[in-house]
Amino acid sequence: MFFASDNWAGAHRSIAERLLQESTGFAAAYGTSELDRRVEARFAEIFEREVSVFFVATGTAANSLSLASVQRPGGITFCHSEAHVIEDECGAPDFFSSARLVAVPGEAGKIDPDKLAKKIAGFPADAVHHGRATAVTITQATEIGTVYSLSEIDAISAIAKQSNLPLHMDGARFANALVALGATPAEMTWKRGVDILSFGGTKNGCWCAEAIVFFNPEQAKEMPFIRKRAAQLFSKSRFIAAQFDGYFENNLWLDLAGHSNGMADRLRAGISGSNSARLAWATTSNEVFAVIPRSAAKVAEERGAKFYEWPVPTATPELVGSEETLIRLVTSFATTEADVDGFLSCLVA
């Protein structure tokens, strides 16, 4: 009953075995091996266009270097108020890009397009004192389990394009969002105007596989130096490639995300049907936020369930009663029906 985070899971057996298989033999280092090349080509197929791909060690690195690649002095990146880049990366995006993040609010964990437009307008191009707008970043799926629809991405993208700002997508849970939407990778990214993607594999069954994907390779030309200077160029890069190789094989990645989302659906159904608990808000990816009795939370913990209590949003204090608590449940490729049912049984205890 591990619902603390999808990064508490290990690695999917197929990916782990693919790594084992890669362990023998010799290959050129620093991302120049044939396998590296082959996996990059695989990314191009998946996204249905030429792309530039850069493996890095962490999702924070993918986000930070993506944003650094489009920064200029005095630059400002707009993100949602609860975005991972502003809340959970210890200032890494600011550090690598010497730029500032400006938070834009919005319902359901998504940037409100009108509010984005207004924020951007606060930074006219010649206002040297304020700094200048240089990028927009969105998270798909969001930090609170919701997913931007394709038209919602269009709306953000249109505003970014109006101001000539590159659009970055933090796809730490890219596959979960994709499956939730039933869209293709191309449809959810460059066809919507996304320029740079943090493509996460770690949370969905790899043990360390993150990539920065540029849909316009011209924009990627500084990245080899940005990455090396950031100490993110693996010598045995082929082991990242091998993970992605296994991840993409026979659409394993989509199957894993499908399983993960499905387990979240099972949780959602169980909670919705419960007398004592309820969903805090609607989600469609592999994160579920629920309001449950404190007593049920205690029972679940006693039975070995792992999950985090979540801060009650300041805007909606009435969401959670005095005897209740707000919790986050994250499913993963490794979550089983038994795990879900075991947790749900605590709610009726």
Which of 92, 280, 305, 344 is in the footprint of a copy of itself by CB under 8 A?
92
Label residue 265 exposed, middle or buried (CB < 10 Å: 0-12, 13-18, 19+). Answer: middle
| In contact, 288 and 328? CB cutoff 8 Å | yes
Q: Is residue 13 within the footprint of a copy of itself (CB under 8 A)?
A: yes
Q: Is residue 313 within the footprint of a copy of itself (CB under 8 A)?
A: no
Which of 75, 109, 145, 185 is in the footprint of a copy of itself by CB under 8 A?
75
Residues within window 215-274 making contact with a copy of itself, judged by CB under 8 A: 222, 224-226, 228-236, 239
Q: For residues 128 and 182, which CB has a smaller minimum distance to a copy of itself in the complex?
A: 128
- Least Å distance between CB 88 and a copy of itself? 4
Whether residue 141 has a cis bond before it, omega within 30° of 0: yes
E strand or H helix at 10 = none
Q: What are phi and psi of 341, to 5 degrees?
A: -65, -35
Which of 42, 74, 274, 294 is in the footprint of a copy of itself by CB under 8 A?
74
Q: Read off the tokens for 258.
A: 């499908």
Q: Is residue 316 within the footprint of a copy of itself (CB under 8 A)?
A: no
As a dihedral over the C-alpha atoms of residue 21, residue 248, residue 226, residue 101, rounded to 10 degrees, the angle is: -130
Residues within window 132-151 making contact with a copy of itself, judged by CB under 8 A: 132
Q: For residues 221 and 298, which CB has a smaller minimum distance to a copy of itself in the complex?
A: 221
Segment interacting with a copy of itself (CB under 8 A) among 187-195, 200-208, 212-220, 261-269? 200-208
- Least Å distance between CB 132 and a copy of itself? 7
Which of 137, 202, 260, 286 is in the footprint of a copy of itself by CB under 8 A?
202
Which of 56, 116, 120, 181 is in the footprint of a copy of itself by CB under 8 A?
56
Which of 28, 150, 269, 282 is in the footprint of a copy of itself by CB under 8 A?
28
Contacts of residue 174, defined as CB under 8 A and 6 or more positions apart, other chains included, come to: 140, 185, 188, 197, 199, 200
Segment interacting with a copy of itself (CB under 8 A) among 150-158, 199-207, 246-254, 262-270? 199-207
C-alpha angle 285/118/62, rounded to 5°?
45
Q: How many whole angstroms separate alpha carbon 22 and alpha carbon 161? A: 42
Residues within window 114-133 making contact with a copy of itself, judged by CB under 8 A: 128-132
Which of 42, 49, 100, 294 is in the footprint of a copy of itself by CB under 8 A?
100
The conformation of residue 206, written as its DSSP 8-state character, comes to: -
3-state secondary structure 209-224: CEEEEECCHHHHCCHH
